[in-house]
Amino acid sequence: MLSKKLHSCRFDANDICRISSALTKILNVTAKRQVHDSSFDTSHELLQTDSGPVVPSRPLPLIIQKMDYPSRFAPPKQAWIESLGTIEDEKLGTIDLHPEIFGTYPRIDILHRNIVWQRNYKRISHAKTKSRAEVQGGGRKPWPQKGLGRARHGSIRSPIWVGGGRALGPRGPKSYFYMLPRHMRVLGLRTALSCKFAQNDLHIVDSLEIPSDDPAFIEELLDTRFWGFSALFVDDTDIMPRNISLALSKVPQFNLMPVYGLNVYSMLKHETLVLTLAALEKIQQKILHQMHKTSLDRSFKNERVRY
């Protein structure tokens, strides 16, 4: 069934060999099982032509089925490996995704808590009003207590006076800082990735190399493939290829991010999420590490005061 679907893809056999050998090198570094690369499979039918070289009759898909820590309870999810080289979609193969990261239950409440945390933990409000003690003046009693027939007052800066201090106004720079438990933030990332995958907004590409640095190419690509109005491209390092950096700098809705910058708010703000294979590998590794590690977190200690 897979081969029938890929039958219409047009790419060179040399390209596939190049891509798959590069990928094999990357993925074999951390893999426990050998990467299955079907380009070295000799069971394909080859057309023997009189004039030219040997050409495979059907394209060679990339099937990546390795999993460092496979789940014992659910089969892996599968996603296409696509390419950004041409405007039309070119599917290079499939890859297995960890079901606990890309197939968790869609916990909308967890997403909400993560987004609220992201909005508030950095917030410092500088609103401040002067109290009656801080407003200039107002030390003397304006007129004697009795005898004048006027209301009794002790100071011209009391809150009932015009120009007086504010009784219960905002007081000083105030912070709204708090930290969500680490497992809740990890679950937020997993839920966001699962929701993106389930709604067909997650796309995995081999790399972020594009042929031209014209933003029109990327805009047309997203238009043709119906990827949406906004897209977030995630690579594993913060040094991006030249063409895509130049193209996306002109369009504010398409943004580039390294893996360490990924977050729930950005995933939900952008309609589509595009991950490279290397970024996907890194994300899965980091999240699985957080899910299964037993050591305590001692990197941040609240109430730390440096004199």
Partner 1 sequence: MWGSSTPILNSTVNANITGWSRQLADRITNGGILSTLTRSYSSEPPDKYDPPAPFRKPGARRYGWVNKLYGGGVLPRSDKPIRSLPAYKPKDSWNRKRALFGQNDYIDILGDGDIHPVELITGPKWLIGFKGNELQRLVRRAKIQGSQMRYLYPTKYHQMWKRIRFLNKKYNMKRSKRVR
* Interaction site with partner 1 (CB under 8 A): 118, 121-122, 124, 131, 133-134, 171-179, 182, 185-186, 189, 230, 252-253, 255, 257, 259-266, 269, 282-283, 286-287, 290, 299-300, 302-307
Long-range pairs, 113-120, Cβ under 8 A, ≥24: 113/180, 113/184, 113/188, 114/180, 114/184, 114/185, 114/188, 114/192, 114/264, 114/265, 115/264, 115/265, 115/268, 117/178, 117/179, 117/180, 117/185, 118/263, 118/264, 118/265, 119/265, 120/176, 120/177, 120/178
Nearer to partner 1, 185 or 203 (CB): 185
- How far is residue 173's CA from residue 126's CA, in Å, rounded to a whole number? 4
- How far is residue 48's CA from residue 56's CA, in Å, rounded to a whole number? 9
Nearer to partner 1, 81 or 189 (CB): 189
Nearer to partner 1, 144 or 172 (CB): 172
The nearest distance, CB 192 to partner 1, in angstroms, is 10
The nearest distance, CB 291 to partner 1, in angstroms, is 10
Identify the bridge partners of residue 275 per DSSP, sorted by sequence position: 204, 234
Residue type, 97: L
What helix, strand, coil percent values describe the chain, rounded to 5? 35, 15, 55
The nearest distance, CB 108 to partner 1, in angstroms, is 18
Nearer to partner 1, 25 or 122 (CB): 122
The nearest distance, CB 306 to partner 1, in angstroms, is 8
- How far is residue 294's CA from residue 147's CA, in Å, rounded to a whole number? 78
The nearest distance, CB 199 to partner 1, in angstroms, is 20
Identify the bridge partners of residue 263 per DSSP, sorted by sequence position: none
As given in the structure block, the two tokens for residue 181 are 């438990």
Nearer to partner 1, 217 or 254 (CB): 254
- How far is residue 71's CA from residue 138's CA, in Å, rounded to a whole number? 72
Nearer to partner 1, 22 or 179 (CB): 179
Nearer to partner 1, 73 or 300 (CB): 300
The nearest distance, CB 119 to partner 1, in angstroms, is 8
Strands in 231-235's sheet, in edge-to-edge order, are 62-64, 91-97, 77-82, 202-205, 272-276, 231-235, 254-258
The nearest distance, CB 49 to partner 1, in angstroms, is 50
The nearest distance, CB 67 to partner 1, in angstroms, is 19
The nearest distance, CB 181 to partner 1, in angstroms, is 12
Nearer to partner 1, 93 or 164 (CB): 164
Nearer to partner 1, 95 or 288 (CB): 288
Q: Is 281 in a helix, a strand, or coil?
A: helix
- How far is residue 259's CA from residue 280's CA, in Å, rounded to a whole number? 9
Residue type, 305: V
